Amino acid sequence: MRILVLGSGAREHAILLALKREGGHELFAAPGNAGIAADATLVPRLDANDPGAVTEYANDEDIDLVIIGPEAPLVAGVADALRERGIPVFGPGRAAAALEGSKAFAKRIMDAAGVPTGGATRAATRAEVDAALDAYGAPYVVKADGLAAGKGVIVTEDRAAALAHAESFLDAGPVLVEEFLSGPEVSLFFVSDGDTVRALSPAQDFKRAHDGDAGPNTGGMGAYSPLPWLADRFGSERAFIERVTAEVAEPVIRQLDAEGTPFIGLLYAGLILTGGGARLTGEGADTEIKVIEFNARFGDPETQVVLARLESPLSRLLMSAASGTLEDEPEPTFSPAPAITVVLASEGYPESPVTGRPIEGLRAAASTAGVHLAHAATAGPDAPGGDLISTGGRVLSVIATGETFALARERAYAALGEITLEGGHYRRDIAARVAD
Ligand code: AMP
Ligand code: GLY
């Protein structure tokens, strides 16, 4: 197939690498980045957020399938335009993508579909924020109601900080004040054709900037998959997946379909497992699964570990979703071998990343056994043969697989040890809890 992937992050690079592994495809990326250039033809001049331009390009170049990576093109209506022209596209239309873009819309859909989630109050003024903060109590959770690249959320014991965070967004519109939910988090991805869903293997993301879950929320600093502790709570990973499919994914997909806005793409369920906690015999009976957020796209960096383990052809899965034939597809299969990813971030990320610095040692890192790299914010060298340059906050993902989490961790951190980026930082505790 001729496949166009929109986006420029490590998620998109991971998608392209999974497609490349299958062999036999012609791959294109818009805009892509310096690392993606080794695995796909870049179309840097194509504006991925311009519905008309993407549709023209896909039509002129006989693209068989467009895969939309980030949320911005979804919100801009790129999928709607492609679908209108009859071009297969993996990614929801603008209306269904509001599941991610508008936390208030997501809450309404969950209410209508009877999907379990925490309490939330919409607050448009300082007085309303004050009242809601007092009603829920500490720890305080405040979210911007719109796209904030994972940085619109604050979770804090500090009431003044929660209020200040809310005030920084109030000019732009209401914020959500939420009930604090406590428990392990799971990212579970569902491929949907608007009617049928197929779950991928669960992953866990590390949202905070620093070790021990300290520091501010980020887009994600690392991830691992599978989650061996799910079997302790639910009997098996499959039992967990079946429960989330029945309690969360199917009701939401049905609700969106009933409202005339079918969701064709990747439904990312960000879940928190509340209650329980101890090893259970009742197979998750006293664990509640609550939704903290939905995204309308693959997660970054969870995609890097989920796709590293995917054995079924990704192109087939996404094409079936795009063309409404997912029902005929078998459940995707995954390697039992663990995968972990560690994100290398620029100095100052997430507050004010310092960019434009050379990155050395990538070849040595990539040749570490069991390791591959997915590039995010990298640009070509200033001069031929020079080093790549960092261009943003999350620079790249190091992905490692191994027979055990301990081995995957050893490999990932050995590879990171080969890379030099002045001021660069990464977490040292990714998947430490599950490594023997
Ligand atoms: P979100 O962008 O909604 O996924 O929030 C980012 C992160 O903030 C989540 O992954 C959680 O770690 C945390 N978070 C968000 N909402 C809550 C909540 N209601 N209770 C506890 N933690 C939360
Ligand atoms: N890793 C979190 C996200 O993709 O939103």
Q: Would you kindly state where each structural domain of the chain is located, as residue ranges?
A: 2-91, 120-178, 182-328, 339-435
Beta-carbon neighbour count of residue 279 at 10 Å?
8
More confident position, 281 or 299: 299
30-8-350 Cα angle (round to 5): 155
Q: Which ligand is nearest to the CA of 184?
A: 1
Considering the chain, what is the average pLDDT of its residues? 94
| Residue 88 and residue 66 in contact, taking contact as beta carbons nearer than 8 Å | yes
Rounded distance from Cα 385 to ligand 1 centre (Å): 43
Whole-number Å distance between alpha carbons of 423 and 145: 32
pLDDT of residue 172: 86
Mean of pLDDT values over 73-95: 98
CA of 433 to the centre of ligand 2 (A): 20
Band of the pLDDT at 147, cuts 50, 70, 90?
low
Give the whole-angstrom CA distance, residue 397 versus residue 430.
12
Q: How many helices (H) and strands (E) does the chain have?
A: 15, 24
Rg (CA), the chain: 21
Say if pTM beats, i.e. exceeds, 0.85.
Answer: yes
Residue nearest to atom 4 of ligand 2 (CA): 299
In single-letter form, the type of residue at position 381 comes to P
Q: Tokens in use for 248?
A: 């969360």
Q: C-alpha angle 322/397/207, rounded to 5°?
A: 85
Query: Which residues are CB-contacts of 207 (< 8 A; sequence separation ≥ 6)?
Result: 150, 185, 213, 217, 218, 220, 221
Q: How many angstroms separate the CA atoms of 218 and 152, rounded?
A: 9
pLDDT of residue 151: 56
Whether 7 and 149 have beta carbons less than 8 Å apart is answered as no
Average pLDDT for 382-386: 78
Nearest-CA residue for ligand 2 atom 5 is 299
- Is residue 94 within 8 A of residue 83, CB to CB? The reply is no
Angle between helices 103-113 and 250-258 (to 10 degrees): 100
What is the whole-number distance in angstroms between the Cα of residue 145 and the centre of ligand 2?
16
204 C-alpha to ligand 1 centroid (Å): 13
Q: Do 88 and 64 form a contact (C-beta atoms < 8 A)?
A: yes
- Please write the tens of the pLDDT for every residue from 182-209: 999 999 999 999 999 999 999 999 999 9
CA dist., res. 92 & res. 317, Å (int): 15
**Comparison of pLDDT for 279 and 121, the residue scoring more:** 121
Please say if the pLDDT value at position 289 is more than 90: yes
CATH code of 120-178, in short, is 3.30.1490.20
Three-class DSSP category at 149: coil
16 within 8 A of 80, measured Cβ to Cβ: no
Q: Are 266 and 300 in contact (CB under 8 A)?
A: no
d(CA 4, CA 57): 10
**419 contacts: CB under 8 Å, gap ≥ 6:** 344, 359, 360, 361, 362, 365, 398
Q: Is 220 in the pocket of ligand 2 (CB under 6 A)?
A: yes
| pLDDT score of 277 | 44
Ligand 2: atom nearest CA of 223 is 1
DSSP string, 333-384: -B-SS-EEEEEEE-TTTTTS-----EEE-HHHHHTSTTEEEEESSEE--SST
Q: Which fold has domain 182-328?
A: D-amino Acid Aminotransferase; Chain A, domain 1 (3.30.470)
Reply yes or no on whether the pLDDT at 2 is more than 80: yes
Q: Over the stretch 203-243, which tens digit does the pLDDT of each residue have?
A: 999 999 999 999 998 999 999 999 999 999 999 999 999 99
Q: CATH 1.10.10.10: does it fit domain 339-435?
A: no
Fold exhibited by the domain 2-91: Rossmann fold (3.40.50)
State the pLDDT at residue 281.
Answer: 47
Closest-lying ligand to the alpha carbon of 221? Answer: 2
Ligand 1 first shell, C-beta below 6 A: 118, 141, 143, 150, 153, 155, 178-181, 185, 207, 217, 270, 292-293
pLDDT above 70: percentage of residues in the chain: 96
Band of residue 292 on the pLDDT scale cut at 50, 70, 90: very high
Which amino acid residue places its CA nearest to atom 3 of ligand 2?
A: 299
Question: Does the pLDDT of residue 278 top 60, yes or no?
Answer: no
